Amino acid sequence: MHVLTSLLEESEFMADFEPRIVAFCCNWCSYAGADGAGVARLQMPTNFRIIRTMCSARVDPEFVLRAFSKGADGVIVLGCHPADCHYIGGNYRARRRIALLRMVLEQYGFDPKRLKLEWVSASEGEKFQKTIVEFVDTIKALGPTPLVKGDE
Amino acid sequence: MGFVDKLKGLFKAGAAEAKAPKAEPAAAPKAAAKAAAAPAAGGSTMQGSKYAESCALQPIPGYVPNLGAPANGKIKLALYWAAACGGCDVSILDSDEKVLNIGDMADIVMWPVAADGKEHDIEEMEDGSITVSIINGAVRSSENEHMVKLLRKKSALVVAYGTCACFGGTPALANLVAGGKDEILDYVYKKTPSSAAFCEAYPEKPHVPQSEIQVPEGTLTLPTLYNSVKSLDQVIDVDYFVPGCPPTQETIEGLLDAVVNFVYNGVALPPKGTMIGVTKKTLCEECPRTKENRRMDKILEPYQVDVDPDLCLMDQGILCLGAATVGGCGAKCTRAGQPCRGCYGPTDAVSEQGASVFTAVASLFPIIDEDPICKEDKIIDIMSSIKDPLGYFYAFTMSKSLIKRSVKEGGQ
């Protein structure tokens, strides 16, 4: 969580809205996919910060809520494709949690599009790039996080 | 023998002891014998001999009546009611006969619901002169904030008593109204059917209570509501927390015993920040129901099921927050067949009770055969069987949640 805090604080306010996005990548598929995208020199916006987790199911809803509470404009969780999980069923659990979490975020008043779950395998560098580009565009269209600090 | 009778018996026994210090337990029967021997003087029916006898012959086991004033003089105690339903104030009386210890031990300088003692009395006291302030309720208005800050200044110890004071409690669900206090006041005073009729009949009057009004004699003010309901420790420094909605009798006794032992025997108080009356583990550790770790196909309400008295409620499809709630209450609700609603708050290990619950709940939905080819809509369908997830999972801890209040997309 300390990593998350420092990552979010380092980016500075800019005139043009540059979203701050936290990407949780599973160790076995998506992180390798992101690596692949880097090795292949695929062009991507630099708005996202990757946090590697052992499995997408390791992403406790608390992590996502904490990212939003620290001012993240969007959170993307990337995991192995269905039937491809290193731990057999972790991604199914993640899928249920993220669905529920999106309901909760919607109740809070966030646009549920600010939280995305996507499957990216170790060989899908291109899909990683495409996912990030699309997500950054979505968040840019939505604007900055609606969270207001110090509202009494 | 009713509770009132017990109390009266104790007062009698106490009075007998006060006359003869260090009175042996036999004093009580003696008093009873005297009462029995004397005719019912003045036709007093309440002091009838039979009544006195029945009181005196059945002392409450294990109870030492009348502690007497502490050697160093009585301590000063203040109890205050902020944004809460009042159940916490009533719950203090749940301590049964131990409530008498409070009278022996302390001068109650303020207890709006039961004793005199006004704001200006407190203001005139020296800083730190109140030994313990027990404050229940969340902080929701300028009055709440003023009073709790005043009590903090005047008190050596402050106890956040009850779930509202500890975590925001049910009042903090008001944080989910996106428009804040204006929307709440507008709804209550203009849109509810009775208010709407009033507004129609008297269109020219200000319908929402004003916090300030000019009259010939000067300005009159009322406290103002805040947009966000806060827990007590978000406003003032708090020494101890006593969770519960309301705290159970055992929890209250834990608090009372700690104070009594400190005042009479000099036993050190627990370290600052202690949650009094909670265990280290979750409620499931205290719950007597057998867990079979079944999966849930759908969520049911207790009235929809013929509740099995021995089986875990989650196994029966009833959404129970026990798995994410700290123990200490003795699992009173689950013993009675009702699911835990989480009023004791999260365990030490997590900060976000709601997130902790839905991590668990989401995992309880079984992995189905079609999961690998399942469309997102199907998953949303499954999860939609949980109605109002935010209100259910954060029913008591909204003030302490990470997001804290509702937000509005597209700027304020």
Provide ipTM, 2 decimals: 0.83
Closest CA to B225 of B182, B171, B173: B182
Least Cα separation, residue B305 to chain A (angstroms): 24
Is A99 domain-assigned?
Answer: yes
Look at residue A148 in the predicted model and tell me its pLDDT: 77
Averaged pLDDT for residues A62-79: 95
Q: Each residue of B219-254: pLDDT tens digit?
A: 999 999 999 999 999 999 999 999 999 999 888 888
- The DSSP result for B282-295, as a single string, is BGGGT--SBP--PP
Long-range contacts (CB closer than 8 Å, 24 or more residues apart) made by B16-23: B17/B65, B17/B66, B18/B66
Closest CA to A25 of A12, A36, A11: A36
Token pair, residue B87, equals: 């159940």
ω into residue B246 within 30 of 0, thus cis? yes
Q: Each residue of A4-48: pLDDT tens digit?
A: 555 555 444 444 789 999 999 999 999 999 999 999 999 999 999
Please tell me the total count of domains within chain A.
1
pLDDT of B48 over the 60 cut:
no
Q: Each residue of A92-130: pLDDT tens digit?
A: 889 989 999 999 999 999 999 999 999 999 999 999 999
Look at residue B19 in the predicted model and tell me its pLDDT: 40
B377 close to A (CB below 8 A): no
Residue B335 one-letter amino acid: R
Look at residue B223 in the predicted model and tell me its pLDDT: 93
Least Cα separation, residue A149 to chain B (angstroms): 10
Look at residue B32 in the predicted model and tell me its pLDDT: 41
Is A5 domain-assigned?
Answer: no
**Sign, Cα dihedral of B279, B285, B287, B288:** negative
B386 close to A (CB below 8 A): yes
Cβ pair A59, A117 in contact under 8 A: no
Note which residues in 246-305 of chain B have CB less than 8 A from chain A: none
Look at residue A4 in the predicted model and tell me its pLDDT: 58
Is A68 domain-assigned?
Answer: yes
Cβ pair B343, B243 in contact under 8 A: yes
Cβ pair B283, B322 in contact under 8 A: yes
Q: Count of CB atoms within 10 A of residue A110's CB?
A: 23
Q: Which CATH number does the domain housing residue A119 bear?
A: 3.40.50.960
* CB-nearest partner of B355 from A65, A93, A103: A65
Helix (H) or strand (E) holding B110: strand B106-110
Q: Which domain holds residue A50?
A: 17-142
Rg of the Cα trace of chain B?
26
**What is the separation of C-alpha B18 from the centre of its chain, rounded to a whole number of angstroms?**
35
Q: Which residues of A touch B410 (CB under 8 A)?
A: 143, 146
Helix (H) or strand (E) holding B155: strand B155-161
Token pair, residue B60, equals: 């409450």
Look at residue A13 in the predicted model and tell me its pLDDT: 45
Q: Each residue of B348-406: pLDDT tens digit?
A: 888 899 999 888 888 888 777 777 777 777 888 878 888 888 999 999 999 999 998 89
> Cα–Cα distance between A50 and A67 in angstroms, integer?
12
* CB-nearest partner of B359 from A66, A97, A103: A97
Residue of B nearest to A142 (CA): B410
Q: How confident is the model at residue B53 (pLDDT cuts 50, 70, 90)?
A: low
- The DSSP result for B234-254, as a single string, is GTS--SEEE-SSSPPHHHHHH
pLDDT of B59 over the 80 cut:
no
B136 close to A (CB below 8 A): no
pLDDT of B65 over the 80 cut:
no
Look at residue B296 in the predicted model and tell me its pLDDT: 81
Q: Which residues of A touch B182 (CB under 8 A)?
A: none
Averaged pLDDT for residues B330-344: 93
Least Cα separation, residue A56 to chain B (angstroms): 13
Is A116 domain-assigned?
Answer: yes
Contact A100 B361 (CB under 8 A): yes
Look at residue B109 in the predicted model and tell me its pLDDT: 93
Which domains are seen in chain B, by residue range?
A: 3-57 (no CATH), 75-169+231-265 (3.40.50.700), 172-228 (no CATH), 283-400 (no CATH)
Which residue would you say has higher pLDDT here, B4 or B293?
B293
Look at residue A29 in the predicted model and tell me its pLDDT: 95
